[in-house]
Amino acid sequence: MKKKGYMRALLLAFLLPLLMDFAWGEEAEGGRVVVPILLYHRFGPVVADSMTVKTSVFASQLEYLRVQGYTVIPLRRLVSSLAGKAPPLPDRSVVITVDDGHESVFTDLYPLVRRYHIPVTLFIYPSAISNARYALTWQQLQEMKGSGLVDIQSHTYWHPNFKKEKKRLTVQEYENFVHRQLLRSREVLQEKLGGTVDMLAWPYGIYDDELIEDARRAGYVAGFSMVRHPVTRADPMMALPRYLMIDPVQGVLFEKLLAESSRFREVRENRP
């Protein structure tokens, strides 16, 4: 019963922004970017927990994107566009991200990534890789990165709850802790996999002004939250919004999410 109640709460939290009249639409004025970033965590044949999306559901979502003419673009391309360093994005652009590094990313998501030939960004916390039973291995990450379709970025070193750690530690201990979480993750990922790691997904979506400044000093150029609306130029680069994807968001609900993002673009572009 508790699990069902939690799932209903998650679904309600997802639906509310879609049922609203997008009161935050004014933020987009002056920009030309309106792109939904989809955030997944893990996949499987059945729903094992609140963050699992059935593999069949994810496959149907990718097919819908293909048939309806959406373009899945690399997250890096979106960030570059926001920074004014890339040409205009395709209409109906979508970004796909996956947090944490669950083994199902390799067994379930990666075959679909190859089938549809779409770019995906993984946000990884390295402490779990090749250590935790549920996690990916470094070999699997290397294979995915080598495909040219998968970019791998930081989710801190071991996915802490910064609010709890700030209460538990002294001021100096907390500063040192944050610095290590942000910097160590970049160092390990770059050492193990090569490439540039300069994008960060905030664990649990938790961030504040101090953490953002710490992340900038640690070398990050973009950060990602769990706020539910499309990315626009009005959004802060270190806290770009993403839609948390859960299994009930399929079929009509998935179509509604994308339609609302498209409508948001049309309303903005038709303003005088």
d(CA 204, CA 187): 22
Q: Is 206 helix (H, G, I), strand (E, B) or coil?
A: coil
d(CA 8, CA 23): 24
Q: Can you give the pTM of this predicted structure?
A: 0.87
Give the model's pLDDT for residue 14: 53
Q: Which residues of the chain register pLDDT less than 70?
A: 1-32, 262-272
Give the model's pLDDT for residue 20: 39
Give the model's pLDDT for residue 230: 94
> C-alpha angle 68/69/73, rounded to 5°?
125
Task: Tell me how far CA of residue 251 lies from CA of 42, 64, 160, in angstroms.
Answer: 19, 9, 34
Give the model's pLDDT for residue 28: 36
**Going from the N-terminus, what domains does the chain have, and what CATH number goes with each?**
2-265 (3.20.20.370)
Give the model's pLDDT for residue 11: 57
Measured in whole angstroms, how far is the alpha carbon of residue 73 from the centre of its chain? Answer: 13
d(CA 85, CA 81): 6
CB contact set of 124 (below 8 Å; sequence gap of 6+): 100, 101, 136, 141, 152, 153, 154, 155, 185, 189
Q: Cβ distance 101 to 109 under 8 Å?
A: no
CB contact set of 144 (below 8 Å; sequence gap of 6+): 105, 106, 110, 113, 122, 150, 152
Q: Cβ distance 103 to 136 under 8 Å?
A: yes
d(CA 167, CA 39): 28
Give the model's pLDDT for residue 46: 97
- What is the rounded end-to-end Cα distance, in angstroms, of the chain? 51
Give the model's pLDDT for residue 113: 98
